[in-house]
Structure 1
Amino acid sequence: MIVIDGQKCDLEFAQFENLDEIFSTVAEKGYLNDRVVTDVFVNDEPFSEVYPHQSEDITVGDVRSVEIKTMATADMAIEITRELYKVVTLMGEGGRTVADLFRQADDAEALETYQDLLDVTRNFLGMIGVLRNEYTLKDHEEYEAIGEGMSSLFTEMTEVLENEDWILLADLLEYEFLPLVDKWKKVIAQLREDIRQVR
C-alpha cells in the first residue's frame, strides 16, 4: 500500500520493480507538485538512503508499505524563515564573541570563530536570496540597502584582516556588522509576510 499524506494512492506495488521506481512515479504523476517531502516510511520504519540510489536496490518484494509525508513548499518556506530568525540571533552572538576575543588578544580563537561566522553569514545570505527570488521581496529597498551594506562591509573586513588589524576588525564587527544583522530581522519578517500572501 502506498500512502501520501494519509491518503491511499492508486498506485500498486505490482507495477514496480524497486523503491526508486515508486518514488519516481509518485513525482511524475504530480503527487508532489508544490510540496516538499518531509518523511518517508518503508514498512512502517523511517527511511532515508544510506548511500546514493539505495532505493534502486530495494525490490518491491521486500516492501509491504510506503508512506510519504509532505508539506506545502510555501509552508516549508515559512518554517525556513523561522529558522533564519534564529540564525540571525546566532550571527549577532557570534559577532559579539569574535569582537571580544580580538579585544582580549585571543587571536587564534578569534580567527577560527570569525571563519565560522563568515560561513554562517554566507549560508544565511544564500538562503535569503533563494527565498527572495522565489517569493518576491525583489523590490524591497531595505533588502537591497542591507545587502549592499553587508557586501561593502565584507570587502572592508577582508582588507582589515589582510592587514591583521584585529582591533579595527573588532570595531567593524561591533559597530557595523551587528547593526546590519539586527536589520535582517525586519527583512525576514517582510519575507515571511510575502510568502503568506503567495500561498
Structure 2
Amino acid sequence: MAPVIKLNDKIIEIDCSEMSNLSGIAEKVAESFFAPKEVVTELYVNDTLVKEGSVASIGGTPISEIRTVSFNTVKNPAEKVVDLLKRMSEYLEGFSAGVGEVADQFRVGSPEDANRILVQAIEGIGAFIELLSSVRLVTGSELSDLSYENKSLGEREEMLLDITKKMQTSQKEKDWVTVADLLEYELGPLMTEWKEMIPLLESEVIKST
C-alpha cells in the first residue's frame, strides 16, 4: 500500500510505483507541488517529527516502511528566517546570562546537573548553526562576506564550532574545570557577540527579498 502523503496538512496524490525510498518521495513532491522558493520547515514520517540533523540520514528509508509522510512548508523562507532570528536573539540573551552560573556548578562539584544543562546548550548551538545555514541559503551569500567589529561572521562561526568541539572533548574526559572555563571565558562572550550581530543578519535576509 502506498504511503499517505500530506503537504501542509492536505493529502496530495503522487505515483509512488517507481520510488524506492523517502528521498524519492521528497524529490517528487518538491518537483510537482513546491513554489520556486518554497522550503520545508517540518517533516513527519510515520507521524514522528524528523529532527533537522537527521533528514539526510533517513532519506534511504524503504518505501515499504513508510505509512505516512507530511511536509510543512513556507513559501517565503526569508520571512521565516527573520522570525527564527528574533527568537534566537531571545534565546542567546538568556544563554549569556546563565552561562556563568552553569560554569560555577562544574567548578563546585555538581557536574550532573550542569551536564544536563550543557547538553541542552550544545543542542541550542547546533540549532543556531543550522539557522546560519538558512541565512546563507536565503541571502545567497557566505557569512565571510559580512563583518562586525573588524571580524567576519564566518570567522566567528569557525570559533563557535571550535569551542563546541573542545567542550564536547572535555565533557567526555570529565575535565570539568576546562568545560567551565570554556563556557565562561570563551563561549559566553562569543554568544553575546552573536546576539549583537542578529540585527545585521536580519537586515541581510530582508534585503534579499
**TM-score (norm. length: structure 2):** 0.61
| Aligned structure 1 segments of 4 or more residues deviating by more than 3 angstroms | 27-30, 32-38, 48-55
Contact 1:99 1:174 in 2 (8 A): yes
Identity fraction in percent? 22
Contact 1:95 1:174 in 2 (8 A): yes
Structure 1 residues 54 and 169, CA, compared in 2 at 3 Å: closer, same or farther? closer
Contact 2:74 2:80 in 1 (8 A): no
CA shift, 1:134, in A, is 2.6
Describe the superposition over 1:137-176 as per-residue Cα deviations: whole angstroms up to 9, x where unpaired: 5312421121121122223323433442322321221111
2-structure distance, mates of 1:116, 1:145: 24
For structure 2, the residue ranges without an aligned partner over 5 or more in a row are 1-9, 15-27, 48-66
Aligned residue in 1 for 2:61: none
* Among 5, 12, 20, the residue aligned to 1:20: 12
Q: Which residue identity lines up with residue 133 of structure 2 in the other structure?
A: G
For structure 1, the residue ranges without an aligned partner over 5 or more in a row are 1-17, 39-47, 56-68
Structure 1 residues 171 and 33, CA, compared in 2 at 3 Å: closer, same or farther? same
Q: Does the alignment pair 1:90 with 2:100?
A: no
Aligned residue in 1 for 2:207: 197
1-structure distance, mates of 2:122, 2:206: 30
Contact 2:39 2:75 in 1 (8 A): yes
Aligned residue in 2 for 1:151: 161
Identify which range, 157-166 or 126-135, moves more after superposition.
157-166
Q: Does the alignment pair 1:166 with 2:176?
A: yes
Q: Does the alignment pair 1:133 with 2:125?
A: no
Q: Residues 109-128 of structure 1 correspond to what in structure 2 (within 5 A)?
A: 109-128=113-132
2-structure distance, mates of 1:177, 1:189: 20
Q: Which residue identity lines up with residue 178 of structure 1 in the other structure?
A: G
Q: Which residue identity lines up with residue 179 of structure 1 in the other structure?
A: P
1-structure distance, mates of 2:190, 2:68: 43
2-structure distance, mates of 1:94, 1:50: 38
1-structure distance, mates of 2:69, 2:156: 43
CA shift, 1:33, in A, is 4.1
**TM-score (norm. length: structure 1):** 0.63
Structure 1 residues 119 and 37, CA, compared in 2 at 3 Å: closer, same or farther? closer
**Once superposed, what is the RMSD of the aligned Cα atoms?**
3.4
Contact 2:77 2:138 in 1 (8 A): no
Q: How many equivalent pairs are there?
A: 159
CA shift, 1:119, in A, is 1.2
1-structure distance, mates of 2:104, 2:38: 44
Describe the superposition over 1:97-129 as per-residue Cα deviations: whole angstroms up to 9, x where unpaired: 421221331111111211111111112112212
2-structure distance, mates of 1:186, 1:71: 28
CA shift, 1:185, in A, is 1.7
